[in-house]
Structure 1
Amino acid sequence: MAEGGVLEQDTDRHDGVTQSRIFDIPIDLSRPADMLRRITAWADDGHVRAPRRVMYVNAHVLNQSAETPALREALETADLVYCDGYGVRLAAKALDVEIPHRMTGADWIWGLAALCEAQGRSIYLLGSDPGVASKAAARLRRWYPRLQVTGTHHGYFDAGSPHDERVVEDINAKRPDIVLVGMGSPKQELWVEHNKDRVDASVLWTVGALFDYVSGRVPRAPAWLADNGLEWIFRLAVEPQRMWRRYLLGNPVFVSRVMAQARARQHPAGAARS
């Protein structure tokens, strides 16, 4: 890395996959369908190695990565990090790096379910409030009756606690191929890091509030908002008490960070002196 946090190289290749770097986080540039096929193919590795780690970034996660070193390290070392938010695409444009495709959980989950059903892969849903993951599993099975959902559990426990031990034991007893972890950031990423060498699965995948959408607990934004990068307005209107800090405070912070890095890229000598 160059002085002042400016990247010397903004696009690189890892295991044959092209990535853009935003705030030094490597973000996959593959198309969503290709990413899904790669992730499900990792199940062919069986359970003989540590699970592959799949994570996402949006403006909120990137903001938190600046404040939580353990989250930043998790994102930097994950096997695949993808874009889940228009803020990341806008940041890529402002920083003049290749723009990643956006892959949102409420969309890709159905493609994942179809692939898993066709290939005989199994999944485990971990996270959200009690009962929500099981409702999400029931809805997935309604559309994909042969989908193997080996188990579900809520996300209200702490990593390293006795409850956590029981959850890991349950997952290991059921040996799913893919564990979807929806606890919110940074808790979900830190849980994955804490348990990556203890969980008997092929893939650990952080998914945020995915189960809330799949279960129908939280409505999705209208397509005309989501397709134009304005989904955050809908989420703020639906859950103002939970989301106001993330969007009304977090979005301006994210924009200021992007602009600061863009200026540093244009004037690296000045960034080095500051």
Structure 2
Amino acid sequence: MKEFEKINILGINVTNLTSKELIRQIGFYVTHNQKQNILYANIHGINVASSLGWFREFFNRCAIVFCDGDGVRLGAKILGHHIYEKITYNRWIWDFASFCESEGISWYLVGSESIVIKNAVDNLKVKYPKLVIVGYRNGFFQNESEYEKLITDLNTTKPNILLLGMGMPHQENLLLKHGDRMTYNVALTGGAVFEYVSGEAKMTPSIFFHLKLEWFFRFLLEPKRLFKRYFIGNPLFFARIFMQKYFNKS
């Protein structure tokens, strides 16, 4: 098992690895029947972790926390580190699905609204007909009995991959509270992954991607929801980065 560099960014230990290394490492966990949680770190997530102690602690107990944003890479650079790659689900998920199809690695999907998750599953089956999807459901739980039903279903189907697309911190809270009772090899938190897989969310045009302005494209699509996250959250993140750099505070 390869040891990866961990870069401390405002108290979150971000794993420095490439998208191909991430896929290989997941394959290692599955092959060796390990149970691991893998999260992603973007500016929003690190900001949430600054105000929720349990969230920060959960991040740092996970096997891998990969970089999911140019802002995090820039923050690392300011602190004197180089993160190899930004790994975003809207692009990475297709390579991962192809790998899992070829290796016979099974998935269980949880997240989004019912119609979105169904369309995501349908699209995956069209693109990767041999990909094993043992179950799926929406990401909205009305009561404890629905959590219990999910736990029972996972313990029956025993998926290799549990992919959660419920948004922060709901998906992480589910793993924290119920993960020990669930059967899977690797749990991945994916945010809006099913919106992209289903086609509900628009892919970022290449020009925004190459200019490192994916965040601005998303803002243009949902200005009311994302204004606070980007125009308040982003400056706050970088202010705290400079505090960490010059005053060693995180």
Normalising by structure 2, what TM-score? Answer: 0.94
In 1, Cα distance between the equivalents of 2:53 and 2:75?
Answer: 21
Name the structure 2 match of 1:178: 161
Letter aligned with residue 118 of structure 2: S
Q: Which of 143, 162, 186 is matched with 2:127 structurally?
A: 143
How far residue 92 of structure 1 moved from its aligned partner, in angstroms, is 0.5
Letter aligned with residue 219 of structure 2: L
Over the aligned positions, Cα root-mean-square deviation in angstroms equals: 1.6
The correspondence of residues 72-151 of structure 1 with structure 2, limited to 5 A, is 72-151=56-135
The answer (yes or no) to whether the contact 2:29–2:36 under 8 Å persists in 1 is yes
Q: Which of 207, 211, 220 is matched with 2:190 structurally?
A: 207
How far residue 15 of structure 1 moved from its aligned partner, in angstroms, is 5.8
User: How many pairs does the alignment contain?
Assistant: 249
- Which runs of no fewer than 5 residues in structure 2 stay unpaired? none
The answer (yes or no) to whether the contact 2:113–2:138 under 8 Å persists in 1 is yes
The answer (yes or no) to whether the contact 1:20–1:100 under 8 Å persists in 2 is no
The answer (yes or no) to whether the contact 1:95–1:262 under 8 Å persists in 2 is yes
How far residue 205 of structure 1 moved from its aligned partner, in angstroms, is 0.7
Normalising by structure 1, what TM-score? Answer: 0.86
Name the structure 2 match of 1:45: 32
Letter aligned with residue 35 of structure 1: L
Deviations 1:43-88 (A, max 9, x none): 1233xx6x20000000000000001111101111001110000010
Deviations 1:19-61 (A, max 9, x none): 2221232211121101111112211233xx6x20000000000
Name the structure 1 match of 2:239: 256
Name the structure 1 match of 2:23: 36
In 2, Cα distance between the equivalents of 1:27 and 1:100?
Answer: 11
Name the structure 1 match of 2:3: 16
- % identical equivalent positions: 34
How far residue 255 of structure 1 moved from its aligned partner, in angstroms, is 1.6
In 2, Cα distance between the equivalents of 1:169 and 1:228?
Answer: 45
How far residue 228 of structure 1 moved from its aligned partner, in angstroms, is 2.1
1:198 aligns with 2:181: yes
Letter aligned with residue 138 of structure 1: D
Which structure: larger Rg?
1
Deviations 1:174-193 (A, max 9, x none): 11100001111111111111
In 1, Cα distance between the equivalents of 2:84 and 2:9?
Answer: 10
The answer (yes or no) to whether the contact 1:27–1:100 under 8 Å persists in 2 is no
Deviates more, 1:85-94 or 1:235-244: 235-244
In 2, Cα distance between the equivalents of 1:76 and 1:121?
Answer: 26
